[in-house]
Structure 1
Amino acid sequence: MTAHLRTALTDLVGIEHPIVQTGMGWVAGPSLVAATAAAGGLGILASATMTFAELEAAIAKTKAHTSKPFGVNLRADATDAAERIDLLIRTKVAVASFALAPKQDLIAKLKDAGVVVIPSVGAAKHAVKVASWGADAVIVQGGEGGGHTGPVATTLLLPSVLDAVDIPVVAAGGFFDGRGLAAALAYGAAGVAMGTRFLLTQESTVPDAVKQEYLSRQLHDTVVSLKVDGMPHRVLNTELVQRLEHSGRWRGLAAALANAARFQKMTGMKWSTLVRDGLAMRKTAGLSWSQAVMAANTPMLLRAGLVEGNTRAGVLAAGQVTGIIEDLPTCQELIDRIVTDAVARIQAVGALADRANSAAGNSE
């Protein structure tokens, strides 16, 4: 029987274990999310790469495979964000997570409907802001994490956020085993969130050949690139990434426009919608025009690698933990062993304190 760790996160969401599977674009679909939920963790669907109809179908499919709580990751700056929030409320999704902070009124609407709101943040000041707006918890990702990331390591970013807010804080960036969970809890976090570790599970729909590419890499084999979409993006260091790194600005913009056309054709979105989303992203994230255009690269470059398995034409978002992961367990096996190991680590540390107290008592 798997041990349990009760934290503010498990109480808040109603899950068994303080482990979150992040909403990775093209990866976090119904199969992975349902498996994570069934194993007692919090699975989060990635909706940024889904049309509204696809998200609606994904929620229904996930609910068909599990009755346990799960979440949906949303883009707060999406033009149809309000409609997607209504969908979450209507279908009784347990958690709404956000990559960019949602407006205060959207948080209030979700909370009034009983939906737990957990934005992701990259700095203590952002955690303070969303906490003041009513967010129930935050996920804080250090620079070790994959995808869009910041420059500060988890070991420094996490305590800075914990000191700044009094809502539950979930640690992300560099976590993959029980040692990490025990360490995060020791810092004062309410749990851990993992992306790359869940990408490398049996229920992940990433092609097997791509998973093997990840498993073959070492700790030094990721790079933070600005050439993928104009923002710091941690990815596997591939030939394509190296070409992007050495490409000129205009070539990057041309590629971004071409990828935007491919994304528009694939999703059926109107050009006016894509333009409005780009304008919203530019305003919300403070991007330049060239960065906003380059952001069109992300969905298609990630899709080529993570869905189509074309590592020559696609980008593979990856946390630094890629270099230390060696297997492809089921979500159940992964969560069970992380929690079991974390409990053992916590008990071992407690035994150190007991021995110290005993020794002090004997010396008196």
Structure 2
Amino acid sequence: MSTPARLRTPLTELTGVDHPIVQTGMGWVAGPRLVSATAKAGALGILASATMTLEELEKAIVEVKGRTDRPFGVNLRADAGDATQRVELLVEYGVKVASFALAPRPEQIARLKENGIVVMPSIGAAKHAKKVASWGADLVMVQGGEGGGHTGPVATTLVLPSVLDSVDIPVVAAGGFFDGRGLAAALSYGAAGIGMGSRFLLTSDSAVPDPIKAQYLGFGLDGTVVTTKADGMPHRLLRTAYVEGLEEENPLRRLVPTARRTLEFKRLSGASWREFAGDGWRMKRASDRSWSQMTLAANTPMLLKAGLVDGDTTAGMLAGGQVVGLIEDLPSCEELVDRIVAEAVERIASVGTALV
């Protein structure tokens, strides 16, 4: 079934999707299966490419396009050594949206836009929104501290209005959204739509192993923790026994397993030592991390893969937003999007009756 109700916003008009909902580019989670299911449901699915080689990304784009003719996006690392080639892949295949976890360079934005690709960086503060807007970004996604993965300290209810007041381009709100009430609230703030990660991870279309999904559903609102022990940056993760151990563990004891996982990630990436080191240097310059944080950062993808792909939470970790404490089911993407839009329309209409 498909939702008869429609909510037209700058997000839907820019991207061509039916509904102002974005499935965020979660590493190891947002693959072709989830992205195409999201696109078919009328929302914007974003492929996560940071954990893919260039060849894997091309294969994933082709697979999504083979599954659906609806618009979708790709999340890129602006500081990756092969970022230029990845941008050209989007141009070649006519991908509709390019999203970025870090600020894209002005020349990357220009190249994408001249080929009709919508540019949507993710930002965490008003000053970052101003910067990318001045460089030509079409819209931005802002995530509040409730969100999973790398996150900031300020709640969505505060960071969202600060960003809305700072730029004239559309803003997508992320962090803590999972239902139609949240979509209605975000639109009331003036946002162009919502971004959701954990809610899309917990669908039947997600490729995350079912036992891991069941673990997510078992956590309450206090089931996540923000820690810097994973990769040196604030990272919201499920409070598993492994993550609790990270909080208490002596850094010296982690040295050997960290090095081992870093080597494994280098092998999976297919990069030479020179390329791998260059990628790390560019990441350090872009994020201003210390060298100790950089060592941990190279380790993180394998920790997430262990949990989200291999299903081994004894040797891995699970990123997740606080919203996992409110999610109780595993609908399909179509069922989820239909439900959210229908509820948002109902909420907006009910609020309208309060006018006198």
TM-score, structure 2 length as denominator? 0.98
8 Å contact 1:89–1:110 — kept in the other structure?
yes
Q: Distance in 2 between matches of 1:213 and 1:129?
A: 39
Aligned AA (2:354): L
**2:217 is the alignment partner of 1:215:** yes
**One of 254, 259, 262 as aligned partner of 2:261:** 259
Residue in 1 that maps onto 2:109? 107
8 Å contact 2:265–2:299 — kept in the other structure?
no
Matches within 5 A, 1:126-145: 126-145=128-147
Q: Distance in 1 between matches of 2:158 and 2:50?
A: 29
RMSD, matched Cα? 0.8
Residue in 1 that maps onto 2:252? 250
**One of 339, 342, 353 as aligned partner of 1:340:** 342
Q: Distance in 2 between matches of 1:251 and 1:287?
A: 22
Q: Distance in 2 between matches of 1:279 and 1:229?
A: 16
Matches within 5 A, 1:15-26: 15-26=17-28
**2:265 is the alignment partner of 1:291:** no
Matches within 5 A, 1:181-260: 181-260=183-262
Identity rate, percent: 64
Q: Distance in 2 between matches of 1:142 and 1:305?
A: 24
8 Å contact 2:97–2:118 — kept in the other structure?
yes
**2:81 is the alignment partner of 1:70:** no
Aligned AA (1:42): L
Q: Distance in 1 between matches of 2:115 and 2:329?
A: 40
8 Å contact 1:253–1:294 — kept in the other structure?
no
The Cα of 1:239 is off from its aligned counterpart by: 1.1
8 Å contact 1:256–1:295 — kept in the other structure?
no
Aligned AA (1:148): H
**One of 282, 285, 290 as aligned partner of 2:284:** 282
Residue in 2 that maps onto 1:90? 92
Residue in 2 that maps onto 1:360? none
Matches within 5 A, 1:322-337: 322-337=324-339
8 Å contact 2:147–2:320 — kept in the other structure?
yes
Q: Distance in 1 between matches of 2:277 and 2:258?
A: 13
Q: Distance in 2 between matches of 1:262 and 1:41?
A: 35
Q: Distance in 1 between matches of 2:205 and 2:278?
A: 35
The Cα of 1:103 is off from its aligned counterpart by: 0.6
8 Å contact 2:78–2:102 — kept in the other structure?
yes
8 Å contact 1:13–1:116 — kept in the other structure?
yes
8 Å contact 1:176–1:197 — kept in the other structure?
yes
Q: Distance in 1 between matches of 2:166 and 2:7?
A: 24
What are the superposed Cα offsets for residues 147-166 of structure 1, whole Å, 9 maximum, x if unpaired? 00000000000000000001
Aligned AA (1:268): G
**One of 10, 13, 29 as aligned partner of 1:11:** 13
8 Å contact 2:225–2:237 — kept in the other structure?
yes
TM-score, structure 1 length as denominator? 0.96
Residue in 2 that maps onto 1:270? 272
Aligned AA (2:4): T
The Cα of 1:253 is off from its aligned counterpart by: 4.1
Higher-Rg structure is: 1
What are the superposed Cα offsets for residues 78-98 of structure 1, whole Å, 9 maximum, x if unpaired? 000000000100110000000
**One of 48, 58, 79 as aligned partner of 2:60:** 58
- Runs of 4+ aligned structure 1 residues displaced above 4 Å come to none
Residue in 2 that maps onto 1:30? 32
Residue in 2 that maps onto 1:361? none
The Cα of 1:247 is off from its aligned counterpart by: 1.8
Q: Distance in 2 between matches of 1:140 and 1:134?
A: 17
Structure 2 unaligned regions, length at least 5: none
Count of aligned positions: 354
Aligned AA (1:71): G
Aligned AA (1:171): A
